[in-house]
Amino acid sequence: MAALRTAVPVLALLGLCLGPAAAATPLVIWHGMGDSCCNPVSMGYIQKLVEKKIPGIYVLSLKIGSNLIQDMENSFFMNVNDQVSEVCSQLATDPHLKGGYNAMGFSQGGQFLRAVAQRCPSPPMLNLISIGGQHQGRVYGFPRCPGESSHICDWIRKTLDLGAYTKAVQEHLVQAEYWHDPLKEEDYRKNSIFLADINQERGINETYKKNLMALKKFVMVKFLNDTMVDPPISEWFGFYKSGQAKETIPLQETSLYKEDRLGLQEMDKAGKLVFLGVKGDHLHFSEEWFDSTILPFLQ
């Protein structure tokens, strides 16, 4: 009995020291082109999957606009810089996120969330997971179009062909804002109002660099059979060798990396960059792959 009486206070003390289990880190999701925050077969499915696998987690699937239709339309037509500002405001006023959060972007949502990391460090983004994001942009094609938006994409193709870097197109067409033409590098650097800015093409913003380097991990997923993104290596921050559109180079051979304009070289050497490949076309992956490969970065 004496031994039992002694053990009780010890166990109670241990309980006080350990405290309650740590709450799961919140997750912020940003959908891709032609999608919406809560589509039951895309972002809604992902949100439920994460909530099932990580009980108690708070998941914010970003909606840009007052309803799902506006959210989808804004993925084509709302200035990306305005979208990023709107998201920064949403995150700053959400009490669930004040201690920090993980972020997961799908397709263009990947580079948009990177802009959030670079421009809006409060609340802090801890890990950034980019699933099919085009961090060096995309060019040519638009071979496929998501959802029921084929007529919109037909119009976008024609508009981009006519003048992706004109002021009117840049300010009102989302896809033009990360359009990167390797045959028109000077036009891109001078006139791209979004991607050229966050990729430090016109000068070094030390705040962008400092904020991105604060990430614990920057995970980039490339779809190995991607027919939608040209070039697919953009999903790993690579691109075409300048001045032509056939030969591609990896991130480590780009001037962005060699000059370390974003801190990616330093992050790479520190083990903060993670390059993942998955078999399949753009945004095509299995639940098993997601569970085994992506969930560990959220737990």
Catalytically active residues are 107, 226, 282
Got the DSSP string for the chain?
-HHHHHHHHHHHHHHHHH-SPPPPPPEEEE--TT--TT-TTTHHHHHHHHHHHSTT--EEE---SSSHHHHHHHHHHS-HHHHHHHHHHHHHT-GGGTT-EEEEEETHHHHHHHHHHHH--SSPEEEEEEES--TT-B-S------TT-HHHHHHHHHHHHHHTTSHHHHHH-GGGGGB--TT-HHHHHHH-SSHHHHTTSSS--HHHHHHHHT-SEEEEEEETT-SSSSSGGGGGT-EEPTT-SS-EE-GGGSHHHHTTSSSHHHHHHTT-EEEEEESSSTT---HHHIIIIIGGGT-
241's tokens: 């060798």
34's tokens: 């032609």
Paired with 207 in beta bridges are none
Go through 243-270 and write b for each residue having 16 or more CB atoms within 10 A of its CB, e for each that does not.
eeeeebbebeebebbeebbbbbbebbee
